[in-house]
Amino acid sequence: MDSIRLRAMGKINLSIDIRGILDDGYHDVEMVMQSVNLADKLLIRKSSGNFSMKCSNSDVPVGKKNIIYKTWMLMKNKYKIDGGIEVFLEKNIPIAAGMAGGSANSAAVFVGINRLFELGLSDEDLIDLSKELGSDIAFCVKGGTYLATGRGTDLKKLDDLDLDLDVLVCRPNIFVSTKKVYKKFDSLYERNIEIDRPDNEKLIEAIKNKNMDLLVSSMSNVLEPVTKEWCSDIGSIEKIMLEEGAEKAMMSGSGPTVFGFFKDKKKAKKCANILRKQYLQTHLTSMSSKGVEIYGNK
């Protein structure tokens, strides 16, 4: 096998709660994560050089700062891989958007290199290795519906979110620093300010029993009020989604992307057309049970 093609799925957060700070300085999180079919596509080829990369989006760095390069070098050095790789990335997941686009790319490279160079590693092996690079990568290797705790790398498989829903994703035209969002949240936590937390037990129950009403009432993201202070568009987008028939609309990750659940595809398409007039990064997608999908190799 000389090359491999993969789809790297984005994610949304059905909930995010932050319980404090761990001894290693990371935030102690409890969140329900869901893969979606809005995916980046990667072509990875064996090469005689060390590493080269091209991307469809010029805003994405293609050198040593990219997590794809860091993932490759981690695996190359650990498993003494001879030769190199060429990567082409078709970028579809919004950048810096709370949808784990970089983590999804890293997960795809872990899976792809494992298969391309016949390393014989399990998902658990890849997840253990991924912890050196970031917290969301572990989930992106697995994909589907999971409860993530601790640093976000302790994963518990949940029932698939088996509801017939379209997912409308909209990213406001603003960059939000994840580091600043968490720092601002920490100041609220330290001052014991009351925080609207998700009910993850009820959320997990709702997923298991396919209870739409309980699902939407249990979903919440403790970071959303913080990010809204920098990005008023979040509230505006949620308002439009709800007015156009969304069952639920909320922010994913540290933002600024907003997603909405729609039972009616026509309403979802109409809302997408409305939002796209102002926000180019508006996508209609669906739930996925996978994090990484291999769809071609030769």
Q: Residues at the annotated binding site?
A: 94-104
Which stretches of the chain are DSSP H helices? 67-78, 101-116, 123-130, 137-142, 178-190, 200-209, 212-218, 224-228, 233-243, 265-276
pLDDT along the chain (298 residues), means of 10: 95 94 86 98 96 96 95 98 97 93 97 97 96 95 97 95 95 89 82 78 97 96 92 96 98 96 98 97 97 85
Q: How far apart are CA 63 and CA 59, in angstroms?
A: 12
Residue 123 annotated in active site = no
Q: Which domains does the chain have, with CATH numbers?
A: 3-159 (3.30.230.10), 166-286 (3.30.70.890)
Residue 136 annotated in active site = yes
Q: Can you give the pLDDT at residue 196? A: 78
CB atoms within 10 A of CB 126: 23
* Active-site hit among 17, 41, 91, 136: 136
Q: Are 250 and 91 within 8 A, CB to CB?
A: no
Closest CA to 276 of 187, 144, 172, 198: 172
Exposed / middle / buried, residue 269 (Cβ in 10 Å: 0-12, 13-18, 19+): middle
Exposed / middle / buried, residue 132 (Cβ in 10 Å: 0-12, 13-18, 19+): exposed
Exposed / middle / buried, residue 289 (Cβ in 10 Å: 0-12, 13-18, 19+): middle
Which residues have C-beta within 8 Å of that of residue 274, sequence separation ≥ 6?
240, 244
* Active-site hit among 11, 41, 142, 248: 11
Q: Residues at the annotated binding site for ATP?
A: 94-104
Q: Can you give the pLDDT at residue 192? A: 62
